[in-house]
Chain A
Amino acid sequence: MRVLLIDDHELVWKGTQRLCEGVARVTGTGAELDFAAVRDLEDALALPDREFDLVLLDYHLPGMSGLQALHAVQGAFEGAVVCMLSAECGRDSVRDVLEAGAAGFIPKSYGEAEMSAALELVLRHKTYVPAEFLFAEDVVRDRSADEVRNEDLKLFLINDLSPRQRQVLKLALQGLPNKIIARQLSIAEGTVKVHLSMVYRALGVRNRVGALCRVLQADAVATLG
């Protein structure tokens, strides 16, 4: 397990490393944890070996927006799951980052226990979304009368989605960009998009964030395998 932290505050490097070590120990990948930290994107791109499993990216890097940084990292570290760390947790930033395919958004205001729980999820290739955001998205979502209810969503995911659709949705919810999903499943990127749009329609949502919130709200991530 190789983890890269990109954060201009060296102050948090050691702590984050210890956090990752603790989490890796719990998730059972502790022995091979290889942690690297860099100050900015430039240093990250200069790394000789870019084979990382997880990139932890500070939302506020000097000189660029969080979204720009995310896109750059996704481009440079193909195959890595990218998780955002942020000192502030604005609705729009969470939405944008998840929509762009980040595997999670962890507020830095969290305590150690909360952070390690969030990181555990991400290291298990699941997505972490701040509870406040998830909750807020749910209570404002329009529901159509015949929508599949949360209780039935697990069954719906198992029975009504094709195995391929489930696979695509699972990878999308892990925060992988469409291109990577296409490569992993050896299908065309356009096919990934078609699958996803069908799944979104079936879930009654409009995009990745909606699907993510829907599935998390129904506690149905596990059904995706």
Chain B
Amino acid sequence: MQWQPWAEERLGVADALTDEAFDRERLSVLVGYSAALRFQMTTIALVISGIAHAGGAPLLQVLIWLAGTMLVRETRAFFLLRLSRSSAPIAERLRKTTAWTLALGAAYGASSIFMLHTDRAFDAILTMILMSLSAGAVSTTFTLVPALVAFAASIALPLFVLWAFGSVDWIDWAVAGLVVLFFGVQVRFAGQNMRMFADSYRMRLENSRLLSDLTAERARLAAARDAAVAADLSKSRFLAAASHDLRQPLQSLALNSGALSRMAMSEPSREIANDIGVGIDALRRMLDALLDISQLEAGAVVPDLRPISVERLLEGLCLRQLPAVQAKGLVLNWHSEQGASVFSDAQMLQRVLSNLLDNALKFTERGSIELCARRVGERIELTVRDTGCGIDEADQALVFEDLTQLHNPRRDRAMGHGLGLGIVRRLCRLLGIEVGVESRLGEGTCFSLRVPTSAEASVAPSEAAPSHPALVARRVLVLDDDEGVRSAYSVSLGSMGCVVSVAADLRQAEAALGTADIEVALVDFRLAENMNGLEAVARLRQRSPGLVALIVSADTSTALRELAAQEGVPMLRKPVSDALLAIAIDNALAEAESARRPAQGV
């Protein structure tokens, strides 16, 4: 009996486990059918018995056959059920199943004996019934082709023998031939069904394997992602540890070498101590740069974007660089558009600019270095221009690469380590700054940075302006001789919802009182033309009695405060924050209103 090849050939699956699983599946399909067909099989046996008896077969013979057949069927069904649950090797179980199926076939096939007693018409009916039974077996037993062959053969063989050897004419021979032919067809169909079954099983297997692969893949991806996150974390941790732990010995070296160089010692020893100091210094700077770069590469640095005053930025930078620039006999100029501001990280932007300035200083022997800021569209362009040796056009793209050092063929590390512009490139990428370089050999170099401004970033304002409901639509007059102060107040009061009028002197203020219905006047104590704020308020109240007014002053001596109190004018001390201003105006208005109300009530 050959069942194993089915599994291997058809499935093309080599591993024994899968073969076994397939074989178990074959057995369970077969057992399922045989258990479900008890009623039909019994009916067939009863009909055969009836026909055989009606055709002339002795009752005893018929009853013996019927009893024997029923016994075989029931016993087979019982054992098949047990086999399907047994833990014996699957090959053995299949073999036993085939044997039981052979027995069943033989039992039914034995009914062809009755043909010896019946005439041709009954023979034909019996043959038809038996062949139908055999045909039905194809669809119940195809998963175990040897069993089907055994079953069909044990029906077809006696039929063939009886038709062939009891033949009287060609019709008997023809029927015998057809029985054989039909047997062949059955075996072929069973084989085909088996192949389809194997195919569908394989597909099911593949599907479930794909599914489990997919699940496994997903799990693997999740694991990979977790690993990546962990690696990133551990990289950051490594960096932090490196920056922390590498610095300790270096710091110890630096401190001790510093202490050493201050000690009394011979000239050669001092030279050695100095050389050690220079080496440690270079090491320290290089470690800083390397750690900066690796932190930037690891994304461990998050910029803290804020509005930055460009004027103050340039001034601070240049004032710090000035001594070094002047020591080299160079001129340092800086210029910024007034009030320009960029939206960036102060420390990082400062780092970018000071690296560029360092570079300019390094490569410029005479002439000047210039730092400028001007508005270009939505951005502020910062340029660092020098009259140094310049960069060959071919090398201009190279300067931002790490460890590139032009004009330093001897790789003298005292001239730097070639990481400065690499840091510039990384910081600029992080800050969204476009970097450009323009240079001509022997004439100088100009690095330009286009830095984002608040205008670009204003989509999401960093701090929501506090609203002061009491001040909405209040008409406020600001009287101050300084234009900057006027516009600052007008912006901050405007943001509180006030309607602001401004005046530089009393004449303008009086004019404003005429045109706009002013409720509050905010007056600076020191006004132009030697007028003080209290006098101005008095003059304004002549035109508009009961005008609510506040005085702002840097000078808040007791005498002055008493004077203001006499006039009924609250005094605010400079500088006044927005919140304080709002509260003071609100209070003054509320007071004036409560003073007015009882008067109206009388």
A129 to chain B, nearest CB (A): 13
> Interface of chain A, helix or strand or loop or mixed?
helix
**CB contact under 8 A between A108 and B251, given known A88-B240, A132-B347:** yes
- State whether A18 touches B256 (Cβ < 8 A): yes
Report yes or no: B316 in contact with A18, Cβ–Cβ below 8 A. Answer: no
Please tell me if the beta carbons of A12 and B316 are within 8 angstroms of each other in the complex.
Answer: no
Separation in Å of the B66 CB from the closest CB of chain A?
91
Q: Are A111 and B281 in contact (CB under 8 A)?
A: yes
Q: In whole angstroms, what is the CA distance A21 to B576 when docked?
A: 47
Q: Which residues of B contact A14 (CB under 8 A)?
A: 252, 256
Please tell me if the beta carbons of B346 and A135 are within 8 angstroms of each other in the complex: yes
| B309–A139 touching, CB < 8 Å | yes
Q: Which residue of B lies closest to A152 (CB)?
A: B554
Please judge, given known A-B contacts A132-B347, A135-B350, whether A12 and B259 are in contact too, CB under 8 Å. no
A109 and B482 contacting across the interface, CB-CB below 8 Å: no
| A18 with B347: CB separation less than 8 A | no
> How many Å from the CB of A91 to the closest CB on chain B?
6
Instruction: Kindly state the separation between the CA atoms of A154 and B287 in the bound complex, as whole angstroms.
Output: 40
Is B475 an interface residue when CB atoms closer than 8 A count as contact?
A: no
| Inter-chain contact A144/B312, CB cutoff 8 Å | no
Kindly provide the distance from the CB of B290 to the nearest chain A CB, expressed in whole angstroms. Answer: 12
The CA of A113 and the CA of B347, in the complex, are separated in Å by 23
A148: chain B residues within 8 A (beta carbon): 554, 574-575
CB–CB B284/A109 < 8 A:
yes
Would you call B243 an interface residue if the criterion is a C-beta within 8 Å of the partner chain's C-beta atoms?
yes
Whole-angstrom CA separation of A112 from B256 in the bound complex: 8
Q: How far is the CB of A12 from chain B (nearest CB, A)?
A: 5
Residue contact A22 to B576, C-beta cutoff 8 Å: no
Is B489 part of the binding interface, using a Cβ–Cβ cutoff of 8 Å? yes
In the bound complex, CA of A140 to CA of B256 (Å)? 38
Q: Scan residues 243-263 of chain B and give those whose CB is less than 8 A from a CB of chain A.
A: 243-244, 247-249, 251-259, 262
Cβ–Cβ < 8 Å partners of B252 in chain A: 9, 11-12, 14-15
Taking the nearest CB of chain A, how far is it from the CB of B364, in angstroms? 24
Q: Is the CB of B316 within 8 A of A109?
A: no
B490 to chain A, nearest CB (A): 10
Which residues on the B side are within 8 Å of A93 (C-beta)? none
Contact call A11/B248, Cβ cutoff below 8 A: yes
Question: Residue of A at shortest CB range from B553?
Answer: A146
Residues on B with C-beta less than 8 A from A11 are 248-249, 252
- Chain B nearest CB from A59 CB (Å) reads 9
A181 to chain B, nearest CB (A): 24
Q: Is B288 an interface residue (CB 8 A)?
A: yes
Contacts of B244 in A (CB 8 A): 60, 87-88
* Cβ-closest chain B residue relative to A115: B255
Q: Which residue of A lies closest to B287 (CB)?
A: A109
Q: Is B570 an interface residue (CB 8 A)?
A: no
Instruction: Report A2 CB to chain B, min CB distance, Å.
Output: 20
Chain A residues near B251 (CB-CB < 8 A): 12, 15, 108
Please report the C-alpha to C-alpha distance between residue A11 and residue B251 in the assembled complex, in whole angstroms: 9
Chain B residue at minimal CB-CB distance from A88: B243
Report the Cα distance A81→B511, complex, angstroms: 59
A-contact 0/1 string along B332-368, CB 8 Å cutoff = 0000000000000011001100000000000000000
CA of A112 to CA of B260 in the docked complex: distance in angstroms?
Answer: 11
Give the total number of A-B pairs whose CB atoms are below 8 A apart. 122
A138 contacts across to B, CB distance below 8 A = 312, 316
Cβ-based interface call for B577 (8 A): yes
Binding-face segment, B96-104, B207-215, B300-308, B540-548: B300-308
B576 contact set on A, CB distance < 8 A:
144, 146
Contacts of A183 in B (CB 8 A): none
Tell me, yes or no, whether A52 is within 8 Å of chain B by CB.
Answer: no
- Looking across the interface, which residue of chain B has its beta carbon closest to that of A116? B258
Pair A145/B489 contact, Cβ less than 8 Å: yes
Q: A14-B256, A116-B258 are in contact. Are A144 and B575 (CB under 8 A)?
A: yes
Residues on B with C-beta less than 8 A from A202 are 573, 575
Chain A 116-154: CB-based contact to B (< 8 A → 1; otherwise 0)? 100000000000000111011111101111111000000
**Does A201 make an interface contact (CB < 8 A)?**
yes
Task: Kindly identify which residue among A136, A160, A204 contacts B577, using a CB–CB cutoff of 8 Å.
Answer: A204
- Give the number of chain A interface residues (Cβ < 8 Å): 41
Once the chains are docked, how many angstroms separate the CA of A120 from the CA of B568? 52
A residues 57-98 near B (Cβ < 8 Å) are 60, 87-88, 91
- Is A38 interfacial (CB 8 A cutoff)? no
Q: Give complex CA distance A204, B580 in Å.
A: 11
Known: A15-B251, A91-B304, A136-B347. A201 touches B258 (CB 8 A): no
Known: A87-B247, A91-B304, A201-B577. A145 touches B487 (CB 8 A): yes
Shortest distance in angstroms between A126's beta carbon and chain B's nearest beta carbon? 20
The smallest C-beta distance from A135 to any residue of chain B, in angstroms, reads 5
Cβ-based interface call for A16 (8 A): yes
Chain B residue, CB-CB nearest to A18: B259
Q: Give the docked Cα–Cα distance between A201 and B280 (Å).
A: 45
- Cβ-defined contact, B255 with A16, below 8 A: yes
* A19 interfacial contact with B, CB 8 Å: yes
A12–B247 alpha-carbon span in the complex (Å):
10
B488 lies within 8 A of A87 (CB): no
A99 to chain B, nearest CB (A): 16
**Chain B residues near A142 (CB-CB < 8 A):** 307
B residues in contact with A15, CB < 8 Å = 251-256, 259
Contact residues of B between 574 and 596, Cβ < 8 Å to A: 574-577, 580
A146's partner among B240, B306, B347, B552 (CB-CB below 8 A) is B552
Q: A146-B574, A204-B575 are in contact. Are A112 and B254 (CB under 8 A)?
A: yes
Of A91, A108, A135, the residue contacting B247 (CB under 8 A) is: A108
Q: Give Cα A123 to B535, complex, Å.
A: 52
Instruction: List chain B residues, Cβ under 8 A from A132.
Output: 347, 350-351
A144 touches B488 (CB 8 A): yes
Contact A147 B575 (CB under 8 A): yes
Question: Which of the listed residues B240, B287, B316, B484 has the most CB atoms from chain A within 10 Å of its own CB?
Answer: B316
* Bound Cα distance A131, B304 (Å): 17
How far is A87 from B250 in the complex, measured between Cα atoms in Å? 11
Closest partner residue, chain B, to A131 (CB atom): B320
The complex places the Cα of A143 from the Cα of B307 at a distance, in Å, of 12
Q: Which residue of B lies closest to A206 (CB)?
A: B577
Q: How far is the CB of B427 from chain A (nearest CB, A)?
A: 13
B316's contact among A19, A21, A87, A139, by CB below 8 Å, is which? Answer: A139
B455 to chain A, nearest CB (A): 17
Report Cα–Cα, A201/B255, bound state, in Å: 41
Q: In whole angstroms, how far apart are the Cα atoms of A19 and B253 in the complex?
A: 12
> Would you call B485 an interface residue if the criterion is a C-beta within 8 Å of the partner chain's C-beta atoms?
yes
Alpha-carbon distance A19/B257, docked complex (angstroms): 10
The reply to whether B307 and A140 form a contact with Cβ atoms under 8 Å apart is: yes
CB interface residues, B 44-82, toward A, < 8 Å: none
Question: With A108-B248, A112-B259, A138-B316 given, can you name 12 additional A-B contacts, CB distance below 8 Å?
Answer: A9-B248, A11-B248, A18-B258, A18-B259, A22-B259, A60-B244, A111-B281, A112-B258, A113-B258, A135-B350, A136-B347, A139-B313
Closest 5 CB pairs of A and B: A112-B258, A15-B255, A145-B488, A136-B346, A18-B259
Task: Please name 9 pairs of A and B residues whose Cβ atoms are closer than 8 Å in the assembled complex, sorted by A.
Answer: A9-B248, A12-B251, A14-B256, A88-B243, A108-B251, A132-B350, A139-B316, A146-B552, A148-B574
Interfacial residues, chain B to chain A (CB-CB below 8 A)? 240, 243-244, 247-249, 251-259, 262, 277, 280-281, 284, 287-288, 304, 306-309, 312-313, 316, 320, 346-347, 350-351, 482, 484-485, 487-489, 492, 552, 554, 573-577, 580
